[in-house]
Structure 1
Amino acid sequence: MTYIQFIKKNIRFLSFGFLLMFFSSFGQTFFISLFNNEIREVFKLTHGQYGLIYSIATFISASVIIWLGKFIDNIDLRNFVLIISFGLVFGIAILCSSNSVIFLCIAIFLLRLFGQGLMPHAAMTSMTRYYSYDRGKAISISSLGLPLGEIALPTISIFLISAFGWKFTWVSALILISISIMPIRYILLKNHEIRHHKWEKENNFLQQEEKAKAIKSFTRTEVLLDKKFYLIIFSILSPAYIMTGLFFHQIHLFETKGWTLNLLAGAFALYAIITVSSSIIIGKLIDLYGSKKLVIIHLIPLGLGLLILSQFTNSLAAILYLSLAGITVGMANSLLSSLWAEIYGTIHIGSIKSLVTACMVFVSALSPFMFGWGIDFGINIENIILICAIYTVISSLNLFLLFRKT
């Protein structure tokens, strides 16, 4: 089935996943970091102090995701989406009205929990669960919502911040999400119980088939006891760690390099376009070859981009870095959701995905703090980036050793 045929047949459910990924932008570091200077000025925080607050809030949200994320296996998807949407709206409302560091921490916690964590978790778990034969296509199409946010939101936000202020920009986001919640719940997920019942029937059949073939579907506890899981996690979460740290401190990075905010907005748009293209291409390849073979090479472009960024100050370096990073991120968006299903099965995919999402949030909690304190203590940003490049090389070698025989 071609992409066009697949989209026509599944337009509503794919739109649901697409919109959840788009709205997750408001909890992602690339968006929140656009307000770093204003937030640090209002609350009188250094790079390291704000990075610490951001990391602690993100770290706590990751702990909560492990518990909350598993409920997608038990709660009606439509109600799960309502809960996480209202949670994100509440977080934005607190941020806009906060006048103390304590409320800032609470707001960031809610943005990271419901925006960065549970919205992508709901979207990707749903695509992974309800599509068996076109899983790669479903994941790649729905994941395009996030690159759309990366294309549109920086330019729009920079304009709104300069024209109306940072709080007005966040209020605009709040209104957009609020007016979209009910159409998502009652139109895009209409008759979802039919889809779920069909999946349950297919799942029962697969369980019987797996028993006959002695194929095992892992529970989350069994995944935690699998040593290979930790080796995989160390490597595949390197983009989340690196890109979160660089996106969080991107204003400082661009100021250090002597680059303008207009270059930042333009480079981000290119980054998002390449992410989209990479995601579409890899979705088809996953359906043809599987994730295990492709995951081995997906970190190479990011490593090259980081090496360029660490060595050059020409504005072309920013474009090359974000372009190459976009290739890796686009591949990762699709690969990492399907990889777990290939390794551990789909019966307990919701609880397994919540574990992986929590791990992703954990590592993304570390880098803003670590990068921020490094900057405060005078460590050159180029040296930080070079260390990140070395991390991608080690991760690529590890993935090669794990999956070279597949």
Structure 2
Amino acid sequence: MEFKKNSLTVATPFYYGWVIVFLAALGYFFSGPGQTYSISIFIDQYIGQFGWERSLVSLMYSLATICAGFVLFLIGRCIDKYKHRRMSIIIAILLGIACIWSSFVINPVMLFIGFFMLRLFGQGSMSLLSSTLVPQWFIKRRAFALSLMSLGMVTSAAVVPIINNFTIELWGWRVTWRVWAILLWVIYLPVAYIFLRNKPEDIGLLPDNLKTDVSTEENRSQEDTMEISWTLNEAVKTRSFWLMLFNIAVPSMISTGIVFHFYSIIGENGLDRTVATLVLSTMAMVSFPVTFLAGYIVDKIKVQYVMVAMFIIELVGIIILINSRHIAIVLLFGITSGLVKGLNGVCVNYVWANYYGRKHLGSIKGASMTIGVIGSAFGPLPFGFAFDYFKGYKEILIVMMVFALLGIISALSAPKPIKKYK
């Protein structure tokens, strides 16, 4: 297979969509600097150096995340308009600038701006780009392709905390932020510029590598019979859209709150930072094979039922965390969290394309990620205030259990919508 695009000739003996899956996974990996599992490593550094209260840092993080969430839906519209390749280049440059900015933080205002840029361009935009790119290339094999793509996030969650810990101890937290900017610009940026393509039609292909030796009308008819696309305005009129938004916001809120304060939670339970880092890595190692399995499961079982199982596991995990006073128990929590992360990573990327098609996926996924990011914003803040008020985390963890129960009910009530034509 050979094609020419932007004066670049690329030849592959296989469907180019698998190259796109790798690039999307790489994009997910480099969303790491803006993810909570990365930023959480810096929290104690800020508190220790500047003497800020934990609730203040949590407030800055939550406000910045909320603001980023409200802007994120615009990124989705830009992806639909300007396409993935151009936006990937722009976002990678901006995320690198966000890392450089974060290395110069000296006051809460700078901290807020740094958090805002990291969450918008890292956790939000880089993830949105990857999760909306792969569905453009696959329909029938979408769940499997998304599970492979999600390995980028799993790898990031496993590797980034270790890199951060190592570089912070070796060079300090300011240099660590600059290292991430360099890695983004030296590795991801040129690879995306050279190899990324927006959709298979741009290079004379069809999703899932369907045959192209038929007429244009036949191709269009073949694609339309496989998948029905909804506009954002049509999607928001369905009950399942809002219930699935809740199903995405709740895990984001719970996991972000726990991971953001994880080193403190573990410390309150009498365990040290080394154990916390080990547990975070365990989460990633467990979610690695689960991500593969999730792609197979979602192909066989309705995604709403997979989400029900995910919420049940999350509920069990919180109970374990409340009672974790020994390394073996807290590692068990890491295993349950890894299961949740693996299932959730595939479900949240699969559900929107499966429910509403790929034509307007950027706008629909952008709106959903806005809610997801806002949900993540409401995680750290209540944990921080709970710690300052109750001098511990048990009470807020019990509240999170209630939300997990609501998630079970919501998932059961959100089947795939049926589009009615007038």
- Same fold by TM-score, threshold 0.5 exceeded? yes
Partner of 1:155: 162
Partner of 2:309: 297
Determine the C-alpha separation between the residues in 2 that align with 1:131 and 1:121: 17
Cα distance change, pair 64–209 in 1 and its aligned pair in 2 (3 A):
same
Cα distance change, pair 217–117 in 1 and its aligned pair in 2 (3 A):
same
| Alignment counterpart, residue 343 of structure 1, candidates 340, 349, 355 | 355
Deviation at 1:10, TM superposition (A): 4.4
Contact 1:310 1:383 in 2 (8 A): no
Determine the C-alpha separation between the residues in 2 that align with 1:174 and 1:217: 37
Contact 1:23 1:115 in 2 (8 A): yes
Matches within 5 A, 1:128-277: 128-189=135-196, 195=202, 198-199=205-206, 204-205=220-221, 209=225, 217-277=229-289
Higher helix share: 1
Deviation at 1:90, TM superposition (A): 0.7
CA-to-aligned-CA distance 1:121-146 (integer Å, 9 cap, x gap): 00010112221111011111111111
Contact 1:19 1:145 in 2 (8 A): yes
Partner of 1:377: 389
| Secondary structure of 2:103's aligned partner | helix
Deviation at 1:174, TM superposition (A): 1.3
Determine the C-alpha separation between the residues in 2 that align with 1:193 and 1:405: 27
More displaced stretch, 284-293 vs 172-181 = 284-293
Deviation at 1:402, TM superposition (A): 3.5
Deviation at 1:361, TM superposition (A): 0.4
Identical-pair percentage: 25
| Secondary structure of 1:375's aligned partner | helix
Partner of 1:51: 58
Contact 1:253 1:381 in 2 (8 A): yes
Deviation at 1:300, TM superposition (A): 1.6
Gaps of 5+ in 2: 1-12, 208-215
Determine the C-alpha separation between the residues in 2 that align with 1:304 and 1:139: 26
Deviation at 1:404, TM superposition (A): 11
| Alignment counterpart, residue 110 of structure 1, candidates 93, 111, 117 | 117
| Secondary structure of 2:404's aligned partner | helix
Cα distance change, pair 257–196 in 1 and its aligned pair in 2 (3 A):
farther
* Alignment RMSD (CA, Å): 2.6
Determine the C-alpha separation between the residues in 1 that align with 2:278 and 2:183: 24
Q: For residue 268 of structure 2, what is the amino acid of its counterpart?
A: T
Contact 1:130 1:196 in 2 (8 A): no
Gaps of 5+ in 1: 1-5
| Alignment counterpart, residue 63 of structure 1, candidates 48, 70, 83 | 70
More displaced stretch, 75-84 vs 225-234 = 225-234
CA-to-aligned-CA distance 1:49-70 (integer Å, 9 cap, x gap): 1111111111110111011222
Partner of 1:400: 412
Contact 1:311 1:382 in 2 (8 A): no
Partner of 2:370: 358
Partner of 1:96: 103
Cα distance change, pair 114–163 in 1 and its aligned pair in 2 (3 A):
same
Contact 1:56 1:365 in 2 (8 A): yes
Determine the C-alpha separation between the residues in 2 that align with 1:177 and 1:379: 39
Contact 1:309 1:382 in 2 (8 A): no
More displaced stretch, 10-19 vs 103-112 = 10-19
Deviation at 1:84, TM superposition (A): 0.7
Q: For residue 254 of structure 1, what is the amino acid of its counterpart?
A: I
Q: For residue 221 of structure 2, what is the amino acid of its counterpart?
A: F
| Secondary structure of 1:297's aligned partner | helix
Deviation at 1:370, TM superposition (A): 1.6
Determine the C-alpha separation between the residues in 2 that align with 1:7 and 1:137: 16
Determine the C-alpha separation between the residues in 2 that align with 1:27 and 1:89: 10
Cα distance change, pair 181–398 in 1 and its aligned pair in 2 (3 A):
closer
Cα distance change, pair 372–203 in 1 and its aligned pair in 2 (3 A):
farther
CA-to-aligned-CA distance 1:72-121 (integer Å, 9 cap, x gap): 11213211100110110010111112333222211111100010001010
Partner of 2:3: none
Contact 2:28 2:126 in 1 (8 A): yes
Cα distance change, pair 196–41 in 1 and its aligned pair in 2 (3 A):
farther
Determine the C-alpha separation between the residues in 1 that align with 2:236 and 2:219: 23
1:387 and 2:369 matched: no
Q: For residue 129 of structure 2, what is the amino acid of its counterpart?
A: A
Contact 1:238 1:395 in 2 (8 A): yes
1:81 and 2:88 matched: yes
| Secondary structure of 1:277's aligned partner | helix
Cα distance change, pair 78–346 in 1 and its aligned pair in 2 (3 A):
closer
Contact 1:62 1:361 in 2 (8 A): yes
Contact 2:150 2:345 in 1 (8 A): yes
Q: Which has the higher contact order (CA 8 A, sep 6+)?
A: 1
Deviation at 1:19, TM superposition (A): 0.7
Deviation at 1:7, TM superposition (A): 9.1
CA-to-aligned-CA distance 1:340-375 (integer Å, 9 cap, x gap): 122222221111000011110011111111211121
Contact 2:320 2:333 in 1 (8 A): yes
Determine the C-alpha separation between the residues in 2 that align with 1:79 and 1:158: 33
| Alignment counterpart, residue 124 of structure 1, candidates 113, 123, 131 | 131
Cα distance change, pair 118–203 in 1 and its aligned pair in 2 (3 A):
farther
Partner of 1:33: 40
